Amino acid sequence: MLRVRAWRSLSPVCRGVHLSAWKRTQSHTAAAARLDLGGIYPPIATPFTAKEDVDYQKLEGNLQKYAKIPFKGLVVQGSNGEYPYLTEEERVEVVKTVRRSLPTDKLLMAGSGCESTRATVQLTEKMAAAGADVVLVVTPCFYKGKMDGRALIQHFTKVADSSPVPVVLYSVPANTGLELPLDAVVQLSQHPNILGLKDSGGDISRIGLIVHKTKTQDFQVLAGSAGFLMAAYCVGAVGGVCALANVLGQELCELERLCVSGRWDEARVLQQRLIEPNAAVTRKLGVPALKQAMEWFGFHGGACRSPLQPLTEAEAQQLRRDFSSNGWL
Amino acid sequence: MLRVRAWRSLSPVCRGVHLSAWKRTQSHTAAAARLDLGGIYPPIATPFTAKEDVDYQKLEGNLQKYAKIPFKGLVVQGSNGEYPYLTEEERVEVVKTVRRSLPTDKLLMAGSGCESTRATVQLTEKMAAAGADVVLVVTPCFYKGKMDGRALIQHFTKVADSSPVPVVLYSVPANTGLELPLDAVVQLSQHPNILGLKDSGGDISRIGLIVHKTKTQDFQVLAGSAGFLMAAYCVGAVGGVCALANVLGQELCELERLCVSGRWDEARVLQQRLIEPNAAVTRKLGVPALKQAMEWFGFHGGACRSPLQPLTEAEAQQLRRDFSSNGWL
Amino acid sequence: MLRVRAWRSLSPVCRGVHLSAWKRTQSHTAAAARLDLGGIYPPIATPFTAKEDVDYQKLEGNLQKYAKIPFKGLVVQGSNGEYPYLTEEERVEVVKTVRRSLPTDKLLMAGSGCESTRATVQLTEKMAAAGADVVLVVTPCFYKGKMDGRALIQHFTKVADSSPVPVVLYSVPANTGLELPLDAVVQLSQHPNILGLKDSGGDISRIGLIVHKTKTQDFQVLAGSAGFLMAAYCVGAVGGVCALANVLGQELCELERLCVSGRWDEARVLQQRLIEPNAAVTRKLGVPALKQAMEWFGFHGGACRSPLQPLTEAEAQQLRRDFSSNGWL
Amino acid sequence: MLRVRAWRSLSPVCRGVHLSAWKRTQSHTAAAARLDLGGIYPPIATPFTAKEDVDYQKLEGNLQKYAKIPFKGLVVQGSNGEYPYLTEEERVEVVKTVRRSLPTDKLLMAGSGCESTRATVQLTEKMAAAGADVVLVVTPCFYKGKMDGRALIQHFTKVADSSPVPVVLYSVPANTGLELPLDAVVQLSQHPNILGLKDSGGDISRIGLIVHKTKTQDFQVLAGSAGFLMAAYCVGAVGGVCALANVLGQELCELERLCVSGRWDEARVLQQRLIEPNAAVTRKLGVPALKQAMEWFGFHGGACRSPLQPLTEAEAQQLRRDFSSNGWL
């Protein structure tokens, strides 16, 4: 694995400038150093037709609405995109569809993680070819007893070595049943083609420590959920990939603005009103609730692919309460 | 969902007779009622070449050796087959390869579980067409917070409704992070095309209770690991799908014989010598250890696909000790 | 730590003979080797008055009824005795009360575990003075992150070194959040004053392996719950300490008799009917349910000390169903 | 349960003024409303002699050193005080000793939690009589399966109803294996004699939500560990009870000052250097490590009561590294 500390410390970081056309012609080392991930990303949902086919028309409808919100970019096929339920062809086609609609000043971060290293390498290449600026690579998890630091470092290193675009690590224990170990994150942060980490576990001490131990690497940490977004900014994260941004995107960008500009008292008031709605569309009721709430807020949500079930009536009422009691409905 | 209790209670059960050619021309209802699952199955490993391609030649070498052991059949692409690391094409091709070699009096049970219901339905059909007598369908698990009884009953019912061959449920919490709830098992046991359950969790009270609560359904429970095989027989299971059978197949068939014939004192002595080697190739050291032990016992094991790593030297020594201290090496 | 393998292998084991008067005058080494623990024990409940004081009269009423059941003995202040809610004085007084009533051919096994080693040593002495034949010592658990094999071996060794009566180890992860590690059990089995283990975790592979690895030590394993009693006998346990024996004591002694005499088919039928009632009074609904069921079956149960709450109406109905659907009510 | 929202909103909060003499003559309602908990508390360790007796002289030595640090007060017999290893008499005697030494402008918060409600009520009274200004009451945990919101609300309500001094709730899942449910916290926050919560779980979304849902109750949340102290302040906590304050007390008070005065960028730099040393003396290596580090920094630490073991040489080196690599040694 290359170590590019010296190189990086010399390299200018053009924060806020999106250079994907240029970047694709450069070596990934250069690309990795230049991309600024800071900001808010909705991990977009995948709409389906009544027959459970991908509904590209509704997807584009959502994209048009998201274009009006000051997101840093979109995550396509994070956990909320039901990617484990899509075929590889569908995964690539959805990315292509998003690429066509996405304004050029927004980042497209595409989930390309698979269980095996070889499948991840291949899908990463396809995602880059389909227009991804960055890939988001989840920890493999089926053989969780064997997915220790050694295995995960080797996996991510191989993927990053061959990826045409920069890689963001993705740790989401609620779904995978494992956390990317801190020591592995620190070692992987030295790879020139690994830009950062989306951490959905929410352990704020861990997030602070990752920022601390990777600070010489220009490594960027994204909060993986809106519930701890403000706290994550507080300890040094640069942004968030938040399911709730599919529903309350403008509000999350406002929270980002307050945090980045140091207006913590105002941020706290807004953050607190977002915790319960966020928990409802993630941990408590999951993707079906996210899609239901999207419908209430003017987006296309609709049903999930089976075996994810629609909300029961009682769940829908609970969901509504979690938004209305915080003044959002 | 159909209820066929009355029908089943009339139907003769031809224990020990393998009728797959006949069965495929019949309705699945009849097929489900007739198949006897009782016995031992190795969930076979998938050998790879140095380049991590499936090594069909080595696979056939193993099959020839397994043909001499009185297994009830083979499980192709249980967890030990590294199925999450195979493409769909590879999964089907491996089943076809096994089908060509397998004596006609042995059952071929093929893993066809995917995360989405639609993918599972499709792969189930391909597996049946490739020659599977039975499919083994693991619980979907990525959205584990939403995989409650309601979702899993719907999933397995849809799969069983459309499957050309009988279905065996598969609960393996160490890998999936969830257990198929007992109430869901009991309800699914009433489906005419669901034959039984492979339970790898090892909670022996649960296994006994499942046998008890499904006894009017002729529902067959298979122990998912050699560590609790004798105890499972004791409380009413009919067989086992045991990783260790890839290594000590003859011995596990002997343990079966002792249990089935009520020679419990002899069984106990043999069972106790198998617990540590079994733990070593499953929970403690996983598939890489299973493949290493296969090499020691004359089978083709070899390396796993990445990100599964080869054993360290210390792990290999531990593995050897777990076999040798019990008199197997 | 002494090793007495040779001594033990020569020593006659007087199975079924209770020699506590003699034993108390001997060295603990001899005592440990002679005591046969085999059989069924109810871990008796502690009745309280309306003011939550120990109701010694009701306790004696229960003891008179238990005297008619062929138990091997009684466990006083296992988890079901609400021992963490009693003062030290009450713990000792309850043991004295039981001692006065208990027929001389029954064993009195008294819980003497505390968090610190020194408190456990002191209470163990008091329990022996109060008439305990054996002490049952639970794993300390508050600092669970530090309760590794090293700490637990030292703890149990110190307690056994000084105890006037033999010691039985007690592992109950549902309450303590930790399991006594297998390697620690094996090492502790060599102590001349440690007789055996009550294992309430229910991992049947572990129980079989403990029997296997301690067989040269004459170490006796007791199943800690009725749900896996038959399976535990099957793999080599010698008895059970079962909450359900407070309610269905005669039936559990019958299950013991069937297992010990090798009538496994009859045992299976009986075992299966006991799993659900057992789960109801332990894992599912706990001590309040045990005490409620005791009332239904003619024993004094009554309320628990606070903060344990009485069953809700819905819980009481569930409890009744778990007994009645298995033919016990 | 009384509701005193209106009353509270009128009541002046005398921040920073210690009025325990006056308070003890008032009703607990008034006391509860007046006490400001904001600030840093070390949960002091209990030194022992070579014979494992409480070493009151060394305790006083530590207290003299702590008197020079701008702590808000001291927590006596939080988890780091090894309270489960002390007798009731020792617990009370340690509080009396601290009371004698403690400057009158510092709060004495004494742990009085026991498993049963009645024991907790009694010890709470003794602690108040011994000079505690506030009691810290941990969740009972042995019967964790039954310690739901209903049981815990009843427990804490009874304790608070009868306590002569205000009560702080204490949730520490790493030791107890359960978390005080959020809904229970919200309901208990309405009790006039319940002042706040020490939350050691570290789920920052939960902490933010508790602050949000109790804001009309003047309910005060204290971070239970230094690892997330800054983040907790950020989302609305008022202070911290931090094991690390036994070692780096001045530094934690400095971190408090930076957070309270809104100097978040400076706070972040300091916070990040504290995460690893904090993890070392808590989650990773526990109380023995805390006491070892205290020795290095000029306090009396010494050995723990058994079964807590001294650090191994390797652990001591790891501990040293976690301090030195962050510039503290």
Give D209-235 pLDDT, tens digit per residue.
999 999 999 899 999 999 999 999 999
Q: How confident is the model at residue A74 (pLDDT cuts 50, 70, 90)?
A: very high
* More reliable by pLDDT, A12 or A254: A254
pLDDT digits (tens, 9 = 90+) for C232-257: 999 999 999 999 999 999 999 999 99
* CATH number of residue D204's parent domain: 3.20.20.70
Indicate if the pLDDT at residue C82 is higher than 70. yes
Question: Across residues B150-156, what is the average pLDDT?
Answer: 98
Question: Across residues D234-243, what is the average pLDDT?
Answer: 98
Indicate if the pLDDT at residue D50 is higher than 50. yes
Q: What percent of chain A has pLDDT over 90?
A: 89
Instruction: Give the nearest chain D residue to C175 (CA atoms).
Output: D142
Instruction: Give the nearest chain A residue to D268 (CA atoms).
Output: A235
The shortest C-alpha distance from B291 to chain C (Å) reads 22
Question: Across residues D252-271, what is the average pLDDT?
Answer: 98
ipTM metric: 0.91
Using an 8 Å CB-CB cutoff, list chain A residues near B288.
146
Q: How confident is the model at residue D33 (pLDDT cuts 50, 70, 90)?
A: low
Report yes or no on A278 lying in a domain: no
Question: Across residues D22-47, what is the average pLDDT?
Answer: 71
Indicate if the pLDDT at residue C2 is higher than 90. no
Indicate if the pLDDT at residue A1 is higher than 70. no
Q: Tell me the average pLDDT of chain A.
A: 91
pLDDT digits (tens, 9 = 90+) for A211-264: 999 999 989 999 999 999 999 999 999 999 999 999 999 999 999 999 999 999
Q: Provide φ and ψ at A166, rounded to 5°.
A: -65, 155
Indicate if the pLDDT at residue A10 is higher than 60. no
Report yes or no on C312 lying in a domain: no
Which tokens go with C71?
């138990």
Nearest residue to A257 (alpha-carbon basis) of A40, A33, A12, A7: A40
pLDDT digits (tens, 9 = 90+) for C35-62: 999 999 999 999 999 999 999 999 999 9
Chain-chain contact of C231 with B225 (C-beta, under 8 angstroms): no
Write b or e for each residue in B74-83: b if 16 or more Cβ atoms lie within 10 A of its Cβ, otherwise e.
Answer: bbbbbbbbbb
Helices D313-324 and D264-279: angle between axes, nearest 10 degrees: 170
Indicate if the pLDDT at residue C18 is higher than 90. no
Report yes or no on A185 lying in a domain: yes
Q: Tell me the average pLDDT of chain B.
A: 91
Question: Across residues A11-18, what is the average pLDDT?
Answer: 31
Q: If you ran DSSP here, which 8-state letter would residue C55 be given?
A: -
Indicate if the pLDDT at residue B77 is higher than 80. yes
- Contact criterion met (CB below 8 Å) for C96 and C131: yes
Of the given ranges (A195-199, B321-325, C12-16, C318-322), which has the lowest mean pLDDT? C12-16
Report yes or no on D314 lying in a domain: no
Q: How confident is the model at residue B224 (pLDDT cuts 50, 70, 90)?
A: very high
Report yes or no on A106 lying in a domain: yes
Domain count, chain D: 1
The shortest C-alpha distance from B149 to chain A (Å) reads 11
What pLDDT does residue B1 have? 32
What pLDDT does residue A16 have? 31
Q: Give the number of other Cβ atoms within 10 Å of residue A57's Cβ.
A: 11
- Contact criterion met (CB below 8 Å) for A227 and A202: yes
pLDDT digits (tens, 9 = 90+) for C175-225: 999 999 999 999 999 999 999 999 999 999 999 999 999 999 989 999 999
Those residues of chain D whose CB sits closer than 8 Å to some CB in chain A are 202-205, 208-209, 211-212, 225, 227-228, 230-231, 234-236, 262, 264, 268, 271-273, 275-276, 278-279
Which tokens go with C28?
């603990």
Report yes or no on D301 lying in a domain: no
**How far is Cα A221 from Cα A196, in angstroms, rounded to an integer?**
5
Indicate if the pLDDT at residue D130 is higher than 90. yes
What pLDDT does residue B33 have? 52
Helices (H), chain B: 5-10, 20-23, 28-34, 56-66, 88-101, 117-130, 149-162, 173-176, 182-188, 204-213, 229-235, 249-260, 264-279, 286-296, 313-324
What pLDDT does residue C33 have? 52
Is A198 an annotated catalytic residue? Answer: yes
What pLDDT does residue D218 have? 86
Contacts 24+ apart (CB under 8 A), D115-118: D115/C84, D115/C85, D115/D140, D115/D141, D115/D142, D116/C84, D116/C85, D116/C305, D116/C306, D116/C307, D116/D140, D117/C305, D117/C306, D117/C307, D117/D154, D117/D155, D117/D158, D117/D159, D118/C52, D118/C85, D118/C305, D118/C306
pLDDT digits (tens, 9 = 90+) for A271-318: 999 999 999 999 999 999 999 999 999 999 999 999 999 999 999 999
Q: How confident is the model at residue B218 (pLDDT cuts 50, 70, 90)?
A: confident
Report yes or no on C160 lying in a domain: yes
Chain-chain contact of A235 with D231 (C-beta, under 8 angstroms): yes
- What order do you get walking across the sheet with B220-223 strand by strand? B39-41, B239-241, B220-223, B194-199, B167-171, B134-138, B107-111, B73-76, B43-44
**How far is Cα B78 from Cα B57, in angstroms, rounded to an integer?**
20
Residue type, position D224, single letter: G
Q: How confident is the model at residue B3 (pLDDT cuts 50, 70, 90)?
A: very low
Chain-chain contact of C227 with B208 (C-beta, under 8 angstroms): yes
Indicate if the pLDDT at residue A114 is higher than 90. yes
Q: Which listed residue (A58, A170, A233, A291) is catalytic? A: A170
Report yes or no on C132 lying in a domain: yes
Q: Give the number of other Cβ atoms within 10 Å of residue A322's Cβ.
A: 22
- Chain D interface disruption, residue of A200, A204, A225, A282, most D CBs within 10 A: A204
> Can you give the residue range of the structural domain that contains A169?
39-263
Is A170 an annotated catalytic residue? Answer: yes
Instruction: Considering only the beta carbons, identify the residue of B79, B158, B306 that sits closest to A117.
Output: B306
Using an 8 Å CB-CB cutoff, list chain C residues near B259.
none
**How far is Cα D312 from Cα D320, in angstroms, rounded to an integer?**
12
